[in-house]
Amino acid sequence: MPVIDVPVRGMTCQACEVRVAKHLRRVPGVEGVKVSVRRGGARVRTAAPVPRGRLDAAIRAAGYEPGPDDAAWLASDRTVWRDVAVGVALLGAVALTLEVTGLTQVADQVGGLASSGSLGMVAVLGVAAGLSTCMALVGGLVLAISARHAETHPQETAAQRLRPQLAFNAGRIVGFGLLGALVGLLGSAFTLTGRTLAVVMVLVSLVMAAVGIKLTGVSPRLSRGGTLTLPAGLASTLRLDRADGPYSDGRAALLGAGTFLLPCGFTQAVQVYAMSTGSPLRAGLVMSVFALGTAPGLLGLGGLTAAARGPRAAPFFRLAGVAVLAFAAINVSGALGVLAPGLVAPAAASGPTAGTGEVDVTLDGDVQVLRTRQVASGYEPASATVYAGREVRWEIDSVAVSCAASLYAPDLGIEPMVLEPGTNVLTFTPSEVGTLRYSCAMGMYWGSITVVEEPDILPTT
């Protein structure tokens, strides 16, 4: 059969492939179609000569233009760069405003109240998580999903565009309940190492970055070449060739459920509480209530993209792309701090003193006592000094549930552990001079313990 290669401009995702293929198959004389975003076109098999104009008309009917895509590494359209610059400026202004007004601490302060373990407090903690540090990871995914769905379905109403957010949050609530019950059943056997969690963060961030690049449009080549697609046969088996079918909703729901495994300190703290209940039913209920609490913040973020329509849609999607890229950068920075602490040197771990208090190292018999407070916004003091060759009793007073409650200290052989409310006691004996770093599991909050030679006289209690 004759084969015609038709370039198609503007395809960015598998839904685009499905739409173009459907319209081309309707052209009389067309026997088979294979559309590839990566190749930027369609390969059409015909039983008889088909006028090229009919194929071009079918492509336009699908919402695209015939012709080769821009293969430049960087966009030449000044409008793209203008919108991206405006997006960066707006995000910077928002971040500065939140920092100056102290609003960034409001959600964290809620964690200081979450010690009762009641379901009501768990729900409030979920609200705080949905508006604070976990927003960078889970919120970035929600924004990426909702913005891409709205961009590729411009004909839908705002209510219809809420489908992916509703599916994501429904899957998150149900999935958290089921996986929470599993955690309650398995207990402490359900753990992941710090490096594994960091790798997960990097993988999620790479997906977010790919979506962010597509939304901003700053690199036509990366927008096309970075798209991951399934073989046509597998897509058909999964019913992905039905763009309005249930598979996309199911995938969004599964992604929502999968966020149970992401290293958000709030989530991990509630997981430990659920684990401590010793009841699969109670643990599942705790996790579902927590996920329900996060829904308002996540739905609000996704709802913004559902409202973007008309001439303002393109600039808004570019702004959303800038936000997704910013979230991805935050996550990668934290993950790299966990994977390669020497590469990323947070300010909190770089100096001999930091934070709000003085170094508190005293001697209780032959044991050094190091006292640290884990608060909503990190560790106080963020750096301390101990002496080599003597046992250290590290007393960590956890006064707030936040990302900082998930402690990771590989230099001390401590995999991610969630601090319990009150005093947590860890012991270690530093053998040589140096710096021991620790952080939360997401690499958002940092601290350090400097080991020095022992002086002639040590302070005593």
Asked whether the predicted pLDDT for residue 277 surpasses 70, the reply is: no
Q: Label residue 357 exposed, middle or buried (CB < 10 Å: 0-12, 13-18, 19+).
A: middle
Asked whether the predicted pLDDT for residue 438 surpasses 90, the reply is: yes
Token duo for residue 82: 């203008």
- The average pLDDT across 60-66 equals 86
The whole-number pLDDT of residue 114 equals 46
Residue 94: how many CB atoms within 10 A of its CB?
Answer: 11
Rounded to an integer, what distance in angstroms lies between the CA atom of residue 374 and that of residue 69? 53
Confidence of residue 115 (pLDDT cuts 50, 70, 90): very low
The whole-number pLDDT of residue 384 equals 92
- The average pLDDT across 296-323 equals 69
HSE (side-chain half, CA atoms, 13 Å) at 236: 6
Rounded to an integer, what distance in angstroms lies between the CA atom of residue 132 and that of residue 265? 11
- The average pLDDT across 256-282 equals 73
Asked whether the predicted pLDDT for residue 106 surpasses 80, the reply is: no
351 or 458, greater pLDDT? 458
Token duo for residue 346: 């947070």
Asked whether the predicted pLDDT for residue 113 surpasses 50, the reply is: no
Asked whether the predicted pLDDT for residue 48 surpasses 80, the reply is: yes
- The average pLDDT across 402-425 equals 86
Rounded to an integer, what distance in angstroms lies between the CA atom of residue 67 and that of residue 9? 6
Token duo for residue 455: 């002086």
Residue type, 304: L
186 or 395, greater pLDDT? 395
Q: Where in the chain is CATH 3.30.70.100?
A: 3-66
The whole-number pLDDT of residue 206 equals 77
Asked whether the predicted pLDDT for residue 336 surpasses 70, the reply is: yes
The whole-number pLDDT of residue 396 equals 96
- The average pLDDT across 171-194 equals 79
Confidence of residue 226 (pLDDT cuts 50, 70, 90): very low
Asked whether the predicted pLDDT for residue 338 surpasses 80, the reply is: yes
Mean pLDDT of the chain: 76
- The average pLDDT across 14-24 equals 81
Asked whether the predicted pLDDT for residue 84 surpasses 90, the reply is: yes
- The average pLDDT across 295-318 equals 68
Least confident interval from 80-94, 126-140, 355-369: 126-140
Contact 407, 375 (CB under 8 A): no
Greatest alpha-carbon pair distance for the chain in Å reads 96
The whole-number pLDDT of residue 358 equals 43
Asked whether the predicted pLDDT for residue 435 surpasses 80, the reply is: yes
pLDDT tens digits along 53-62: 999 999 998 8
Asked whether the predicted pLDDT for residue 88 surpasses 90, the reply is: yes
The whole-number pLDDT of residue 234 equals 40
Contacts of 351-359 with C-beta under 8 Å, sequence gap 24+, read: 351/383, 352/383, 352/385, 352/450, 353/381, 353/383, 354/381, 354/382, 354/383, 355/379, 355/380, 355/381, 355/382, 355/383, 356/380, 356/381, 357/381, 359/383, 359/384, 359/385
Per-residue exposure over 160-193, b if at least 16 CB sit within 10 Å of its own CB, e if not: ebbbbbbbbbbbbbbbbbebbbebbbeeeeebbe
Confidence of residue 25 (pLDDT cuts 50, 70, 90): very high
Per the rule left: phi > 0, alpha: psi between -120 and 50, beta: everything else, 63 is: left
Rounded to an integer, what distance in angstroms lies between the CA atom of residue 175 and that of residue 179? 6
The whole-number pLDDT of residue 34 equals 92
HSE (side-chain half, CA atoms, 13 Å) at 32: 8
Tokens 């990426």, residue located:
144
Confidence of residue 395 (pLDDT cuts 50, 70, 90): very high
HSE (side-chain half, CA atoms, 13 Å) at 66: 17
Top mean-pLDDT range of 109-118, 276-285, 346-355, 434-443: 434-443
pLDDT tens digits along 236-245: 543 434 433 3
Which residues are paired to 447 by β-bridges?
Answer: 438
Contact 420, 386 (CB under 8 A): no
Confidence of residue 298 (pLDDT cuts 50, 70, 90): confident
- The average pLDDT across 161-187 equals 85
**Model confidence pTM above 0.85:** no
Q: Where in the chain is CATH 2.60.40.420?
A: 347-452
The whole-number pLDDT of residue 14 equals 63
Asked whether the predicted pLDDT for residue 403 surpasses 50, the reply is: yes
Confidence of residue 302 (pLDDT cuts 50, 70, 90): low
The whole-number pLDDT of residue 190 equals 55
231 or 306, greater pLDDT? 306
Query: Which CATH superfamily is 347-452 part of?
Result: Cupredoxins -  blue copper proteins (2.60.40.420)
Asked whether the predicted pLDDT for residue 414 surpasses 80, the reply is: yes
Rounded to an integer, what distance in angstroms lies between the CA atom of residue 166 and that of residue 428? 47
The whole-number pLDDT of residue 32 equals 92
Asked whether the predicted pLDDT for residue 307 surpasses 80, the reply is: no
The whole-number pLDDT of residue 213 equals 83
CATH number for 3-66: choose from 3.30.70.100, 1.10.10.10, 3.40.50.300, 3.30.70.20: 3.30.70.100
